[in-house]
Structure 1
Amino acid sequence: MLESRDEWIKKRAYAIWEEEGYPAGRDGIHWEQASSERIALEKSAGKEAKLGAKSKAKRKPTVAVAAVVDEPVGKPAVKRTSKKAVKAKV
């Protein structure tokens, strides 16, 4: 679930407060710094979304690559019996 914008700013302001060593009386400054970071993040995400939409149309389709297995290629699990062997058993 996505967190709200205010919740993100609240968590970021708290992280800034911790990084600065728990100073008293700077909560407004931390909130403003976190808010500015969020705005910058939203602007950069918006630009990337616009650029990504244009570049996706020009991209070539990707090809899936088969996984490499370390097991040797061996004989089939079920052995076939020849017609002569079947007649010999009867």
Structure 2
Amino acid sequence: MTTDTLGNLGRGARLYAQCPGCGRTKTLDPAMLVAHAGPDCTVAGALKRVVCGECRVPAKTWRGYDPIAENLGKLDKQSPLR
């Protein structure tokens, strides 16, 4: 089993945050999290650090999954339909 780190996030992984103070919701950019915390940081550890950019309140975070994005690479490698 692989470690759940930012560097191991799959192509379809989605990370979200919502501020409990102002209600602002944002889709987090995994590349930005890697730039700040490093690829070896656990996903849970990185999400604990997320705060609202407006009011600086610690954000509620959760993970999602986009199966279309996950399979885009596989679709690109397939031969065209005849």
TM-score by length of 2: 0.30
The structure with the larger Rg is 1
Of Structure 1 and Structure 2, the greater strand share is in: 2
Of Structure 1 and Structure 2, the greater helix share is in: 1
TM-score by length of 1: 0.28
Greater RCO, 1 or 2 (C-alpha within 8 Å, sep 6+): 2
